[in-house]
Amino acid sequence: MRTLVPVAIATLLATSAFAATLQQSSGTVRLYDHKAMTLQLADGESFMLPANFKDPGIKVGGHVAVSWEKSGLDNMARSVTLIK
């Protein structure tokens, strides 16, 4: 029993850390709404942008790379980089 508790705690912590890992996506911008702070790629993937987001020059039809993580039902963008 004493060995099961540390193993269970380690498993729980590893699972939580894995869930918070940043994901990477890239594609063509379908929609970008600076006021609503949203970005959608041509494949339908959507992201919420952070309140302090600084637009690097996103344009519909442009190519971007997005680092993001899941927060509830939303994909929260952490960074958006233009791809040339």
Q: Where are the domains of the chain?
A: 22-83
Give the closest residue to 57 by CA, choosing from 24, 28, 80. 80
Q: Tell me what the mean pLDDT of segment 11-23 comes to.
A: 61
pLDDT at 3 over 70: no
DSSP 61: T
- What is the model's pTM? 0.74
pLDDT at 29: 98
pLDDT at 17 over 80: no
**35 neighbors 42 (Cβ within 8 angstroms):** no
Please list, in sequence order, all residues whose beta carbon lies within 8 angstroms of the beta carbon of residue 81, skipping any fewer than 6 positions away.
56, 64, 65, 66
pLDDT tens per residue across span 28-45: 999 999 999 999 999 999
CATH 3.90.1150.10 fits 22-83, yes or no: no
Please list, in sequence order, all residues whose beta carbon lies within 8 angstroms of the beta carbon of residue 57, skipping any fewer than 6 positions away.
82
| The one-letter amino acid at 24 | Q
pLDDT at 64 over 90: yes
